[in-house]
Amino acid sequence: MAKDDSKNVDFEKDLARLESLIGELESGDLNLEQGVEHYRKGVELLGTLNRSLSAAEQRVEELTTALQAELADLDQDADDA
């Protein structure tokens, strides 16, 4: 499995786990200690997910910048021809 595929699987798995924790918290079936522990795990997962999203956003920006530079070079080459 490619590195990006692994990150995507981890992201999806973490997101599903966060959604599950939220559902369990919203159910009202947890005692106080369980609720606090679920909340702690949720905050931790949220931080992990935010870091993953930030990294993906940065990568998209880098790819966009590279593509724009490549297109500008092609446009320049066409103008020179």
pLDDT digits (tens, 9 = 90+) for 9-67: 899 999 999 999 999 999 999 999 999 999 999 999 999 999 999 999 999 999 999 99
Closest among 37, 11, 14, 13 to 24, alpha carbons compared: 37
Instruction: Tell me the C-alpha distance between 14 and 32, whole Å.
Output: 23
pLDDT band at 80 (very low <50, low <70, confident <90, very high): confident
Considering the entire predicted model, what is its pTM?
A: 0.76
The domain spans of the chain are 3-80
pLDDT band at 78 (very low <50, low <70, confident <90, very high): confident
Closest among 46, 42, 48, 11 to 26, alpha carbons compared: 42
Query: What class has domain 3-80?
Result: mainly alpha
Instruction: Tell me the C-alpha distance between 77 and 74, whole Å.
Output: 5
